[in-house]
Amino acid sequence: MPESALDGLTIIEYNRTGGAAYATKLMADLGAEVIKVEPLTGDPDRCLGPFPGGEPHPEKSGTFLYLNCNKQSVMLDITNHTGRQVLDSLLRDADVFIHDIPPAEAEALGLSDKQVRAGKDRLVTTFISPFGESGPHRDWKAYDLTTLSAGGWTWLNGWPGHPEMPPLRPFGRQSAYQAGVNAALATMGALLARLRTGRGQHVEVSAQECITAILEMTFAFWPYMNAPTARWGQRPIHPIDFFQCKDGGWIFVLCVEEHQWQRLVELMETPEWTQWEVAANRFVRASNWDALRPFMEEWVSQWTTDDLYKAAQAKRIPFAPASTLSQLLDSEHLKARGFFVEIAYPQAGTIKQPGAPFKMSETPWEIRTPAPTLGQHNETILGERLGLSGDEIKSLNGARVG
């Protein structure tokens, strides 16, 4: 295999929320050495499902296994002085330290940027927190639902055609993973800057801001159109909506340009209602969408999802089927691109997981090792690398060597 893009880079990770784990996953898959520091009870993600057969097991969590391939695991209690000293020793030879411990707690643990980087001028520290390390909300506690809501995503999320519905959260830890993506990107920027300056720097990532930053053109609606950003069913132009086909599948209709609408009218064989004044243009259609939508629903309900998608494609009308998870796993396109990968785990068996959403011609990503078991590399990292004796390692991790 060619050399990996990030060969020679050493990263220390401490994960709480999934953000730090996802950031380091992105870099581990590109060849970086990632040493995962876990508390004696293990990374909290080991307690998250899904689990095979629905039976919880710290070495079988689908979430943990996905996030931690290509990493090494050591157990350290960083809440005591000895554990933090060992962590400090690991950081002296590392390039990057990434954690997602809230600022006040990090300071109490001696893990603020100033405390960690003392005497380590080349170290890059990347810390993820709900609201950043400054501002009046700095020390507010939050979970993923909190930062999704604070960032504005849940307000925009709603059921098609039902603007009266309350805010809704998307599935999964989206703010944590968005924070992870931004943390990985900013960390690589800091490492590139170090090539010029010879010095590391501190990177702070706010999960709230990661969500707010990807809300598309929402912040332009008010100055441009004197209107707040709206949910489905309240769009200033139409049709932009989801409709259910006769096979139960859903299809997304996007015809915001008049030429797109005219091609859709042709596909529908020019029904009478499309010639009414209330359907005259995209703005008028939006104002009357509650009256027009039932006609579209009736027409779409006569098609299967695939037939309608292909018919729209033939006329260059922007329709898109809403893929289910099973459809994605069976997608011939994704299979042809090798997107999903199968990984064998010692205790969980073989699991199919998403691969990388990009391809690099000269330094491709790869899964080199499955996710580690808890403390699997205690002896390798703490013993061989740091020179701790077997007794010292046992005293650190409750008699477990790895």
109 falls in which pLDDT band (50, 70, 90)? very high
From 71-80, 184-193, 213-222, the region with the lowest mean pLDDT: 213-222
* Per-residue pLDDT at 256: 83
pLDDT mean over 242-254: 93
* Per-residue pLDDT at 161: 54
Q: What is the dihedral of CA 347, 353, 355, 357, to 10 degrees?
A: -150
| CATH architecture for residues 10-213+333-396 | 3-Layer(aba) Sandwich (3.40)
* Contact between 67 and 36 (Cβ < 8 Å): no
Mean predicted lDDT score pLDDT of the chain = 91
* Per-residue pLDDT at 76: 95
Output the six-digit token pair for 88: 């400090």
Tell me the backbone φ, ψ of residue 75, rounded to 5 degrees.
-100, 130
* Per-residue pLDDT at 236: 75
Q: What is the dihedral of CA 66, 69, 72, 76, to 10 degrees?
A: -10
pLDDT mean over 43-63: 94
Tell me the backbone φ, ψ of residue 158, rounded to 5 degrees.
-160, 170
Give CA separation, 372 vs 21, 41, 67, 190, 244, in Å.
13, 14, 11, 28, 43
What's the CA gap between 108 and 9, in Å, rounded? 28
pLDDT mean over 342-360: 93
* pLDDT reading at 253 higher than 70: yes
Whole-number percent of the chain with pLDDT over 90: 81
190 falls in which pLDDT band (50, 70, 90)? very high
Total residue count of the chain as it appears in this document: 402
Quick: pLDDT tens for 298-325. 999 999 999 999 999 999 999 999 999 9
* pLDDT reading at 401 higher than 80: no
* pLDDT reading at 399 higher than 50: no
* Per-residue pLDDT at 240: 86
CATH class given for the domain over 230-244+250-321: alpha beta
> Which helix (H) or strand (E) element contains residue 376?
none
Quick: pLDDT tens for 4-24. 999 999 999 999 999 999 999
pLDDT mean over 214-218: 81
* Per-residue pLDDT at 395: 87
* Per-residue pLDDT at 178: 97
* pLDDT reading at 1 higher than 60: no
Domain ranges of the chain: 10-213+333-396, 230-244+250-321
Give the pTM.
Answer: 0.90
* pLDDT reading at 229 higher than 80: no
Whole-number percent of the chain with pLDDT over 70: 94
Angle, CA 199 vertex, CA 193 and CA 201 arms, to 5°: 75
